[in-house]
Amino acid sequence: MPAKLQLSFSNAVPKGNVTTICLIGQNGEIISHLEKDVAAHLIGVMATAQFTGKFGKSLLIYNDKNSYLLVGTGDNLTAGIEAEKLGGKVFLALSQTASKSGWLPDHKLDEIILADFCLGANLASYYFDSYFTEKDKDKDKVTVHLCMGSKELDAKSTVLTDRQALADGVFLARDLVFEPANKLYPVEFANRCLALARLGLEVEILDEADMERLGMGALLGVGQGSRRESRMVVMNWRGGEDEAPFALVGKGVTFDTGGISLKPAKGMEDMKWDMGGAAAVAGAMCAIAGRKLDKNIVGVIGLVENMPDGNAQRPGDVVTAMSGKTIEVINTDAEGRLVLADALHYTETRFLPQAMVNLATLTGAIIGALGKEYGGLFTNSDDLGSQLESAGKETAEGVWRMPMGPSYDRMLKSHIADMKNIGGPYGGAITAACFLARFVKSTPWAHLDIAGKAWSDSATDIVPKGGTGYGVRMLNRLIDNWQGASLSEKGQQSDD
Q: What are the boundaries of each domain within the chain?
A: 5-143, 162-491
pLDDT at 16: 80
User: Average of pLDDT values for 411-422?
Assistant: 98
pTM passes above 0.75: yes
pLDDT at 316: 98
| Residue-wise pLDDT tens digits, 10-27 | 767 778 888 999 999 988
- Residue 138, pLDDT > 80, answer no
Q: What topology is assigned to 5-143 in CATH? A: Leucine Aminopeptidase, subunit E; domain 1 (3.40.220)
Catalytic residue among 57, 151, 192, 263: 263
Domains 5-143 and 162-491 share a fold: no
Where residue 155 falls among pLDDT bands split at 50, 70, 90?
A: low
Residue 239 pLDDT more than 60? yes
Residue 327, pLDDT score: 99
- Side chain identity at residue 119, one-letter code: L
Going by C-alpha positions, the residue among 432, 436, 262 that lies closest to residue 332 is 262
Q: What value does the mean pLDDT of the chain take?
A: 92
The pLDDT confidence band at residue 104, using thresholds 50, 70 and 90, is: confident
- At 416, the pLDDT band (50, 70, 90 cuts) reads very high
Please tell me the CATH code under which domain 162-491 is placed: 3.40.630.10
Whether the per-residue pLDDT at 168 is higher than 70: the answer is yes
**pLDDT above 60 for 151:** no
**Which of 337, 420, 438, 477 is labelled catalytic?**
337
Catalytic-residue membership of 263: yes
The pLDDT tens digits for 169-209 are 999 999 999 999 999 999 999 999 999 999 999 999 999 99
User: Where does the pLDDT of residue 31 fall: very low under 50, low under 70, confident under 90, or very high at 90 and above?
Assistant: confident
4 vs 356 pLDDT, higher one: 356
In tens, the pLDDT along 251-310 reads 999 999 999 999 999 999 999 999 999 999 999 999 999 999 999 999 999 999 999 999
Express each pLDDT in 310-325 by its tens digit. 999 999 999 999 999 9
Q: Which residue type occupies 14?
A: P
pLDDT score, position 152: 53
Q: What whole-number percentage of the chain has pLDDT above 70?
A: 94
